[in-house]
Chains A and B, each alone.
Chain A
Amino acid sequence: MSGVTRKIALGACLTALALALSWAESLIPLTLFIPIPGFRLGLANIVTLFALYFLGRRSAWSVLTARCLLGALLAGNLTALIFSFSGGAVAMAVMTLLYRNRRLSVYGVSIAGAAGHNVGQIAAALLVLGGWAPLAYLPPLLALSVLTGALTGSVSAALFRFAPAERLFSPV
């Protein structure tokens, strides 16, 4: 397989994986314990991080866009698309800026992405709901993003260790 074909195939697999993870985390009733709308673990961000580090920014943006579009189709509503893409795009922009920074590890990039995701979603909520009410959720969501970001960062770090580039990209 050529490098490009491999990249496309891997991108498609990652999109499917991200969708599955989004669905899986929706089964965890987190908001029962922490009643903040929009609060979630952000497991799909593990896939985004992986795509960014292993495939580069272009592929990572493609995976993100495909995930949001397909996710909205599966959920069957446009609001879902607005929220998932606004959050995903801000997270992605932040992580794209930071991932080459040698001072930060995967943990820092993941935490910044999680915080960016919440900022993007709150911004979208301000526009959709047309009022300042959603802003009230920014402080707790930002604080929680440090926790969820560290969690997805640790999973990503483990994943990066056990999924070395040579194995994924060596010629078959």
Chain B
Amino acid sequence: MKSPAGSALRPTRWDVVLAAAILLAAAVTGYLLYGNTGKSESLTAVVTRNGEEIARIPLDELEEPMELSVEGEYTNIIRAERGRVCIIDSTCPGRDCVHQGWISRPGQHLICLPNHVTVTIEGSSSSGVDAVSG
């Protein structure tokens, strides 16, 4: 039977290198994912369940707050106001989706894993710069 005798129990230099590599990977993927979200003219919240689009809410054209109920294995209540959206209530366990709070910028997401629901903000830029750089 194997024993861990001899295996290092104190952090080594290579542990630090490994940790740094993971942080670097986080920074690089972060830059690639969020780096190009510029200012945009219109904001649209796109709601999907199981990968299928079920609603599209133009956030910047909303005169009054609206709520949308998404039924699945659980129920998510999505609240949209002018320029922002959140999952205000949910019957899922953990309610991580509710804790994510409001999102208001293009490229931001709300996710409810148990209910397979995502809310993504899409923005279209009028300048066309984003389309080129992104």
A binding-site residues for B, Cβ under 8 Å: 3, 7, 26, 31-32, 35-38, 53-56, 75, 77, 79, 83, 99, 101-108, 111-112, 115, 125, 128-131, 133-140, 142-143, 145-146, 149-150, 153, 157, 160-161, 165-166, 169
Contacts A77-B114, A160-B4 given; does A108 touch B99 at CB 8 Å: no
Which of B14-22, B54-62, B63-71 touches A? B14-22
Main secondary structure of the interface of A (DSSP, over half): helix
Q: Counting CB contacts under 8 A, is B7 at the interface? A: yes
Is there contact, CB below 8 Å, between B15 and A105?
yes
Residue of B nearest to A49 (CB): B4
Contacts A105-B12, A165-B3 given; does A111 touch B19 at CB 8 Å: yes
B binding-site residues for A, Cβ under 8 Å: 1-5, 7-12, 14-15, 18-19, 22-23, 25-27, 29-30, 33-34, 48, 50-52, 73, 93-94, 96-97, 99-101, 107-109, 111-114, 116, 118, 120
In the complex, chain B residues whose CB is within 8 Å of the CB of A105: 7-12, 15
Is there contact, CB below 8 Å, between B22 and A142?
yes
Residue of B nearest to A102 (CB): B8
In the complex, chain A residues whose CB is within 8 Å of the CB of B52: 130
Q: Which of B18, B25, B73, B120 contacts A111 (CB 8 A)?
A: B18
Q: A38-B113, A111-B18 are in contact. List 16 more A-B contacts (CB 8 A).
A: A31-B96, A37-B112, A79-B114, A104-B14, A104-B18, A105-B7, A111-B19, A125-B111, A129-B48, A131-B48, A131-B118, A136-B34, A139-B33, A142-B23, A142-B29, A160-B7
